Amino acid sequence: MAMLEFLPDHRTCAIGADESILSAAIRAGIPHTHVCEGRARCSTCRVFIMEGSEHCVVRTAEEQALAKRLALGPQIRLACQTRVTGDIKLRRLVLDDEDVQLIRQVGDCASSPEGASAGEERRMVILFADIRDFSALAESLPPYDVIHLLNRFFYDMSGVIERHGGTVNNFIGDGLMALFDAQPPSNEDASARAVTAGLEMIELVRARLVPYVRMFYEKELRIGIGAHLGDVVLGAVGVGPRRQITAIGDAVNLASRIEATNKSFGTEFLVGGEVHQRVSEQFEMRAYNPITLRGTSEQRSLYEVLGKKVR
């Protein structure tokens, strides 16, 4: 007979061959939320398989349908539907009434372009772009013009990003964060798509926004772009109508730091080594000596993107 180890309860119990994880927990007196009474109509009985996922049987049709709708990763299983063939270690994810209310909101974001509303690890190229010295520019403009200029910038940049398969994930002051799905094996070209988008963003700013700002405001406009490839946690955060999909993790922080380094380097477009490794044969790059980015402890090599290579 297989054994289940539950966290955060630090309790174990046996599970029969034809018994679900939920049934075994209830029989053993381990508290386990199941709002729909184990009919795969909700996900409040969800668990995270920490060890022994190979011992979990394949999803039932009911679980598969819900997992697809909520973009549940392979390690997140419905306890009411999952049977096992060997020992596993798992963690209950819904622990109190507040958790239940949050889980009920998850479906609101399930149809977003990024998916992964319940949270999953995913390979992404994170691209940050912002307007250089925008605070000084904004101080010299009427409030209406500030908002109008930002909206023009965001509109133009979003169009470029979306044309190359990216998604604008967040607008942050005078900048934006975009995500390019790099999950193998279907999105191996994400780095190239992100770099191509970044170059087009710079060209579009030079061709449209720079002359516009010069003509109407007699000011100069420059942008900075940074991109980094890494693993993020992608999921829905927030409350009610403000709930949205976002990405968090060290890779996001590094992408932001890379973008900010444009200021000290006097560059417009920098990428990290992970992106450089995948696109160096397609784009002209200038390498910089390894530096320690602000807020990090290890040195990293950065590369300025100069343009596409001429064949």
CA distances from 110 to 23, 98, 114, 187 (A): 28, 20, 9, 21
Question: For residue 119, which of 109, 128, 133 has the smallest C-alpha distance?
Answer: 109
pLDDT of amino acid 286: 95
221-249 exposure pattern, b = at least 16 Cβ within 10 A, e = fewer = bebbbbbbbbebbbbbeeeeeebebbbeb
Please state whether the predicted TM-score (pTM) of the whole model is above 0.75.
no
- Are 77 and 108 contacting, i.e. CB atoms less than 8 angstroms apart? no
Alpha helices in the chain (DSSP H): 21-27, 61-70, 97-105, 134-139, 143-163, 190-204, 210-217, 250-265, 273-279
Give the mean model confidence (pLDDT) for residues 220-231.
94
Predicted confidence (pLDDT) per residue in 47-81, tens digit: 999 999 999 999 999 999 888 877 788 888 999 99
Question: For residue 52, which of 12, 89, 99 has the smallest C-alpha distance?
Answer: 89
User: Per-residue DSSP letters for 35-101?
Assistant: TTSSSSSSSTTEEEEEE-GGGBPPPPHHHHHHHHHHT--TTEEETTT--BSS-EEEEES--SHHHHH
Question: For residue 90, which of 43, 55, 65 has the smallest C-alpha distance?
Answer: 55
> What residues are paired with 169 via a beta bridge?
none
Strand order in 76-78's β-sheet? Answer: 11-15, 2-7, 88-92, 46-51, 76-78
pLDDT of amino acid 89: 96
Predicted confidence (pLDDT) per residue in 231-265, tens digit: 988 777 766 656 677 888 899 999 999 999 999 99
pLDDT of amino acid 119: 60
Percent of the chain with pLDDT over 90: 53
Predicted confidence (pLDDT) per residue in 166-206, tens digit: 999 889 989 999 999 988 887 889 999 999 999 999 999 99
Domain ranges for the chain, please list them: 2-109, 120-308
Q: Does the domain formed by 120-308 have CATH 3.30.70.1230?
A: yes
Q: What is the mean pLDDT of the chain?
A: 87
Percent of the chain with pLDDT over 70: 89
Reported as a pLDDT band with limits 50, 70 and 90, residue 112 is: very low
Phi and psi angles of residue 13, each rounded to the nearest 5 degrees, phi first: -155, 160
pLDDT of amino acid 240: 60
Name residue 189's amino acid.
Answer: D
- CATH class of segment(s) 2-109: alpha beta
Reported as a pLDDT band with limits 50, 70 and 90, residue 111 is: very low
Give the mean model confidence (pLDDT) for residues 283-307.
89
- Burial of residue 264, with CB atoms counted within 10 A of its CB: 0-12 exposed, 13-18 middle, 19 or more buried: exposed
Predicted confidence (pLDDT) per residue in 12-38, tens digit: 999 998 999 999 999 999 888 887 888
Tokens of 91: 């963690």
Predicted confidence (pLDDT) per residue in 132-167, tens digit: 989 888 888 888 889 889 999 999 999 999 999 999
Inform me whether the pLDDT recorded for 109 exceeds 50.
no
Question: How far is the C-alpha of 275 from the C-alpha of 283, rounded, in Å?
Answer: 11
Question: How far is the C-alpha of 134 from the C-alpha of 140, rounded, in Å?
Answer: 10
Query: Who has greater pLDDT, 98 or 102?
Result: 98
